[in-house]
Amino acid sequence: MGFATHPWPFFMTLLAVADAQAAILERMTTLASERIDLTTALGRVLAEPMYADRDAPPFANSAMDGYAVLVADLNNASADNPVALQIIERVAAGAVPQHQLRAGSAIRIMTGAQVPANAEAVVPFEETDEGQPNAQTEVVRMFQPTQHGNNIRPAGEDMQAGNLVLAAGQVLNAGSIGVLATIGAAQVPVFRQPRVAIIATGDELVDVGIEPNAGQIRNSNGYANAAQVREAGAIPIMLPIVPDNAAALRATLAQAVAEADVLLTSGGVSVGDYDLVKQILNEVGKLEFWRVRMRPGKPLAFGSIDGKPIFGLPGNPVSAMVCFELFVRPALRKMGGYQQLLRPSVWAKLLDADLESNERRQYLRVIVKSSATGLTAELTGAQGSGLVSSMARANGLLIVPEAGQGINRGELAEVVLFGELH
Ligand SMILES: Nc1nc2c(c(=O)[nH]1)N[C@H]1C(S)=C(S)[C@@H](COP(=O)(O)OP(=O)(O)OC[C@H]3O[C@@H](n4cnc5c(N)ncnc54)[C@H](O)[C@@H]3O)O[C@H]1N2
Ligand code: MOO
Ligand SMILES: [Mg+2]
């Protein structure tokens, strides 16, 4: 049992983070698309380009509540010399005007209503005497000239029939949902979300609702990883905790392969007597690589079972979450059709004491804040890989590159930003 009994000499070499990321992404393919209701499409990734089915707005309409007029009628209007126009029609939004304007007439019209075909401008109520009724007819007075096109929104001002309005790969935000509704897309083609089986392994683990006995702890990785899966735009499938037992692990992996697109285990990937994940993975599937030159997260294992990718995340809670951020999240994003796979990184001024370099690339939990002089990064405190509370406080992972000069207090450091800026 354990590493020493397995003849995997290339595993002696630790992969660089970027090489491990590249090896993983190379093996990921984007899932098929599905059609979903517009009301559920927020945050999903568009799978096809979308085109306007008609002009938006579909007809020239009024931008103000006012009067549609002919420009020439008002050429000589002034406060001293108001021009009186005869009101020949009223048009509400949703109605179609029945008359054309003729010299000396005005059509009372509401915002959003289709303007008469020959209307040249709309004069807002506030710029008129609001329409004084007289004995037979209604007359409105105007006090200044206007110009062609004033307060008229032309057909197609926003989108024109046949225009590309959203490209494939776009992540749908609230504005995109508005665009899709405008073009009548009640159903939206989006990439399917990866279904991710989450398997926490360990004899010591009990579920959250259970009182731990001596020697036991609660399964936190399963829940933290499920939340990360959701953040990555995928669907977690929580499987029961698996004890450090080969038969139980085989059975749960078989169930996971049947139900999910991607498998995540946590724990059991190091060199302990009961660390079985690599061995079973090699038996029922293929182990592609093990161990990355990073801290935390070194013993990450990656492979496949029946063509489905499997990530063996280290058991330490911070290691499991950091490995998820760096390796699983980009993989899920590629499967889900996202174009931006990696978290953005920013450069922030280190506020803490000098950080020494190490033979492994370090990812330190930090709180990144924005200030008038730029971004700052402050360590969350102790950096042990068991300290899950430090992940709750952090919004970034500060990188100390391996085999380098380290980073001195006051210097700029690269930070992978995974939470909201403070
Ligand atoms: N002799 C060596 N020992 C260790 C090495 C090494 O290189 N040589 N690497 C260390 C590093 S680094 C890590 S990371 C861990 C990885 O361990 P495993 O992946 O084998 O995980 P376990 O041994 O099962 O558990 C480690 C730790 O994490 C806790 N744990 C596990 N699962 C959960 C969970 N679902 N929720 C909360 N906590 C969990 C577990 O109780 C252990 O405390 O190995 C080092 N050892
Ligand atoms: O790599 Mo381990 O993840 O240092 O604790
Ligand atoms: Mg172990």
Alpha helices per DSSP H over 89-187: 174-182
- Can the peptide bond before residue 57 be classed as cis, meaning omega within 30 degrees of 0? yes
- Residue 61 · residue 153 · CB < 8 Å: yes
Q: Which burial class, exposed, middle or buried, applies to 351 when counting CB atoms under 10 A from its CB (0-12, 13-18, 19+)?
A: middle
Listed in order, the ranges of the chain carrying CATH 2.170.190.11 are: 61-153
Closest residue by CA, ligand 2 atom 4: 296
Q: Which burial class, exposed, middle or buried, applies to 239 when counting CB atoms under 10 A from its CB (0-12, 13-18, 19+)?
A: buried
- Bridge partners, residue 399, by sequence: 363
**196 vs 262: CA distance, rounded Å:** 5
Instruction: Give the Å distance between the CA of 19 and the centre of ligand 2.
Output: 18
Tokens 């804040």 -> residue: 369
38 secondary structure, DSSP code: G
Listed in order, the ranges of the chain carrying CATH 3.40.980.10 are: 17-32+192-335
61-153: CATH, from 2.170.190.11, 1.10.10.10, 2.10.69.10, 1.10.760.10: 2.170.190.11
**Of all atoms in ligand 2, which is nearest to the CA of residue 294?**
1
Listed in order, the ranges of the chain carrying CATH 3.90.105.10 are: 37-56+157-191
Instruction: Give the Å distance between the CA of 18 and the centre of ligand 2.
Output: 18
- Residue 326 · residue 363 · CB < 8 Å: yes
For the chain, give percent helix, strand, coil, nearest 5.
Answer: 20, 30, 45
- Establish whether residue 270 lines the binding site of ligand 1, counting it when its CB lies within 6 angstroms of any ligand atom: yes
Nearest to 146 by CA among 108, 120, 125: 120
Q: What is the CA radius of gyration of the chain?
A: 32
| CATH hierarchy code of domain 345-417 | 2.40.340.10
- Establish whether residue 315 lines the binding site of ligand 1, counting it when its CB lies within 6 angstroms of any ligand atom: yes
Write down the ipTM of this complex: 0.99
| pTM greater than the 0.90 cutoff | yes
CATH homologous superfamily for 17-32+192-335?
MoaB/Mog-like domain (3.40.980.10)
CATH homologous superfamily for 37-56+157-191?
Molybdopterin biosynthesis moea protein, domain 2 (3.90.105.10)
Per-residue pLDDT of the chain (422 residues; tens, 9 = 90+): 333 444 444 456 899 999 999 999 999 999 999 999 999 999 999 999 999 999 999 999 999 999 999 999 999 999 999 999 999 999 999 999 999 999 999 999 999 999 999 999 999 999 999 866 554 568 999 999 999 999 999 999 999 999 999 999 999 999 999 999 999 999 999 999 999 999 999 999 999 999 999 999 999 999 999 999 999 999 999 999 999 999 999 999 999 999 999 999 999 999 999 999 999 999 999 999 999 999 999 999 999 999 999 999 999 999 999 999 999 999 999 999 999 999 999 999 999 989 999 999 999 999 999 999 999 999 999 999 999 999 999 999 999 999 999 999 999 999 999 999 98
**373 vs 201: CA distance, rounded Å:** 46
Instruction: Give the Å distance between the CA of 386 and the centre of ligand 2.
Output: 9
